[in-house]
């Protein structure tokens, strides 16, 4: 039996942030391009975690990394 790794949303964001920082990803690419950097058997866990947090695979990386803090205008 092969063990899979569960990814938290913070871990997914950290991985995306790292890949953007080293130039492997662009902020305007869809989130689904992350699958190129995550082993296939673990990708399903990433997909599920994204779905649980209301992210779509067609959303952009910048949507995933956007700050969720809002200031009062």
Residue 1 has pLDDT above 50, yes or no: no
Give the contacts of 54 (CB within 8 A, at least 6 positions apart). none
43-66: pLDDT as tens digits: 999 999 999 999 999 999 999 998
Contact (CB, 8 A) for 32 and 70: no
pLDDT value, residue 20: 97
| Count of CB atoms situated within 10 Å of the CB of 62 | 14
User: Domain ranges in the chain?
Assistant: 9-65
Q: What is the percent of the chain with per-residue pLDDT over 70, rounded to a whole number? A: 85
Task: Give the confidence band of 35 by pLDDT, cuts at 50, 70, 90.
Answer: very high
What average pLDDT does range 25-52 have in this prediction?
Answer: 95
């Amino acid at each position: 039996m092969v063990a899979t790794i569960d990814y938290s949303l913070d871990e997914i964001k950290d991985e995306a942030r790292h890949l953007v920082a080293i130039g492997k990803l662009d902020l305007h690419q869809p989130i689904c391009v992350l699958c190129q950097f995550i082993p296939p058997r673990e990708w399903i866990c990433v997909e599920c975690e994204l779905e649980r947090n209301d992210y779509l695979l067609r959303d952009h990386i910048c949507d995933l990394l956007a700050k969720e803090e809002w200031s009062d205008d």
